[in-house]
Structure 1
Amino acid sequence: MSILHVLSTAAAILAVLAPFPDFWRIYKTRSTGSVSILPVVLIFCNCYAWVMYARQVNSIPPLFVAYAVGMLASIAFGGIYYHWTRDHAHIHKLYGAAFYILAGYTLYYSLGTSGATNQSSEQVENTLGAVSGLINLALYASPLERIKHVIQTKDASTIPITISAFLLVNGVVWVLHSIVEGDMLVLIPNALGVALCIVQVGLYVVYYPRKAAPDTLTTTTSFPV
């Protein structure tokens, strides 16, 4: 395994484990606070899609390994959140939507790889990669959910800067990896993701919450609601 493969695997694993501090805090305080479950749902969807894509293109390390770990981690995070939140209906709605999306993805995977769609292996791989890339891009964009609030209040305390920073590093590494491998389906969403993360980090620097109250500071790495 090349050094780039090792770095790509490590970066992806760190990115999907980035929510750990917030969910450890949920476990310790027995409260979800301002943490949102949406990014965790997207992490699971993203990891599932890339695991299926990795199987098709035979990219066991780094894609399959990294995102298999991410699937397990997101299940654990989701379980912790579900146990301590009072808004179970919202979780059911999000995971219900995720189920239908991934069910459709899995159905296409089964039909495409079995030849039922009359597509070549390359065409199936391109379709799977394109859908995976869109889900990946949604994950990168999720911290921008409250960008309007940040600009209006000039307070970036709701930006999950730890998550954004890890996603930025992950995106840069995967851009380099995809350039070397010549995989445009991985390159494009990660390049766009890097741009989104730069915006997030830039907003955090511009609207750094220097005067935030103690209770607010404890949620600077929390996901936007």
Structure 2
Amino acid sequence: MAETIRMLIAVFGNAASMSLYAAPMVTFRRIIRKKSTEEFSCIPYIIGLLNCLLYTWYGLPVVSCKWENFPIVTVNGVGIVLELSYVLIYFWFTSSKGKVKVAMTAIPVVLVFCITAAVSAFAFHDNRHRKILVGSIGLVVSVTLYGSPLVAMKKVIQTKSVEFMPITLSVCSFFSSTLWLIYGLLIRDIFVAGPSVLGTPLSILQLVLYCKYRKGSVVEEPSKGDQEKGNLEKVDMEMGKVETNVTNHMNENL
């Protein structure tokens, strides 16, 4: 029974996390359509790629005991594919100067993962120490990613408008962090539950702020023609504002 509950939570956690990984597709549809990266930054996607690489490695039998963390491998494996796709699309459509920036950011990130994987595989000969090494580094990266919505929340409070914080992302973040927190506690793994200790309260705070300030957002009723032509542009701009804010926060951390 306990194993069934854990698997159900893991399945729902996978679904919520995949929704978060898929969210930037709106932004990259815009980049492909305009053939320009505009003012968007590649840093969030490169850091996200590092996070997925570390936790996929953490869940493999090389680090974990057999396949005890298989659900973590599946969701982060999908994350690797999506985040890598975002980085490659960004690299293709950015300027020559932007390509250099992508390379200068991505190469150290790949090196961090390769060194972590090599040390954990060859320097340590038991799963416990391997999990401590990989999990600790993954925890730091995850906390950085979970802390990034603080920028968007600050903007919401300053403007008293939720246009900078789409409700869909907040809801997906809440379910994802909550489910992985429960799963991590059930399997008694601090490196799985740890990031959600910060992520869950932050996602709840996002929902509270949304409920408080959503009436303060001015929403004009568009005509039918405007709806047909402008809805995608509006979503793109909202996603762009959020990701630009997140990028600035990550740049400060880096």
TM-score, normalization: structure 1?
0.80
Please name the residue that 2:107 is paired with. 99
Contact conserved, 1:8 with 1:174, CA < 8 A, in 2?
yes
Q: Compute the displacement of 1:174 (Å).
A: 0.5
1:19-30 counterparts in 2 under 5 A? 19-30=24-35
Letter aligned with residue 142 of structure 1: S
Q: How many angstroms apart in 1 are the aligned matches of 2:37 and 2:165?
A: 16
Contact conserved, 1:175 with 1:190, CA < 8 A, in 2?
yes
Q: Secondary structure of the residue that 1:67 maps to in structure 2?
A: helix
Which of residues 170, 175, 179 in structure 1 aligns to 2:181? 175
Contact conserved, 2:91 with 2:102, CA < 8 A, in 1?
no
Q: Secondary structure of the residue that 1:224 maps to in structure 2?
A: helix
Q: How many angstroms apart in 2 are the aligned matches of 1:134 and 1:20?
A: 26
1:80 maps onto 2:98 in alignment:
no
1:7 maps onto 2:20 in alignment:
no
Residues 4-57 of structure 1, C-alpha deviations (whole Å, 9 max, x = no match): 332233232222122222322333344546654333222211101101111111
Q: Compute the displacement of 1:106 (Å).
A: 2.5
Which of residues 117, 132, 137 in structure 1 aligns to 2:143? 137
Q: Secondary structure of the residue that 1:156 maps to in structure 2?
A: coil
Please name the residue that 2:249 is paired with. none
1:128 maps onto 2:142 in alignment:
no
Q: Secondary structure of the residue that 2:148 maps to in structure 1?
A: helix
Aligned residues between the structures: 222
Contact conserved, 2:59 with 2:72, CA < 8 A, in 1?
yes
Structure 2 residues without counterparts, runs of 5 or longer: 223-229, 245-254
Please name the residue that 1:112 is paired with. 120
Contact conserved, 2:120 with 2:133, CA < 8 A, in 1?
no
Structure 1 residues without counterparts, runs of 5 or longer: none
Q: Compute the displacement of 1:141 (Å).
A: 2.0
Please name the residue that 1:155 is paired with. 161
Q: How many angstroms apart in 1 are the aligned matches of 2:156 and 2:28?
A: 23
1:187 maps onto 2:193 in alignment:
yes
Q: Compute the displacement of 1:73 (Å).
A: 0.7
Please name the residue that 1:202 is paired with. 208
Q: How many angstroms apart in 2 are the aligned matches of 1:195 and 1:95?
A: 35
Q: How many angstroms apart in 1 are the aligned matches of 2:168 and 2:211?
A: 13
The structure-2 alpha-carbon separation of the partners of 1:98 and 1:130, relative to structure 1 and needing over 3 Å to count, comes to: farther
Contact conserved, 1:157 with 1:212, CA < 8 A, in 2?
no
Residues 66-112 of structure 1, C-alpha deviations (whole Å, 9 max, x = no match): 111111111222233334444x6456436533532442342133123
Contact conserved, 1:113 with 1:121, CA < 8 A, in 2?
no
Letter aligned with residue 206 of structure 2: Q
Q: How many angstroms apart in 2 are the aligned matches of 1:75 and 1:16?
A: 11
Q: How many angstroms apart in 2 are the aligned matches of 1:142 and 1:94?
A: 20
Q: Secondary structure of the residue that 2:202 maps to in structure 1?
A: helix
TM-score, normalization: structure 2?
0.72
- The RMSD of aligned alpha carbons is 3.0
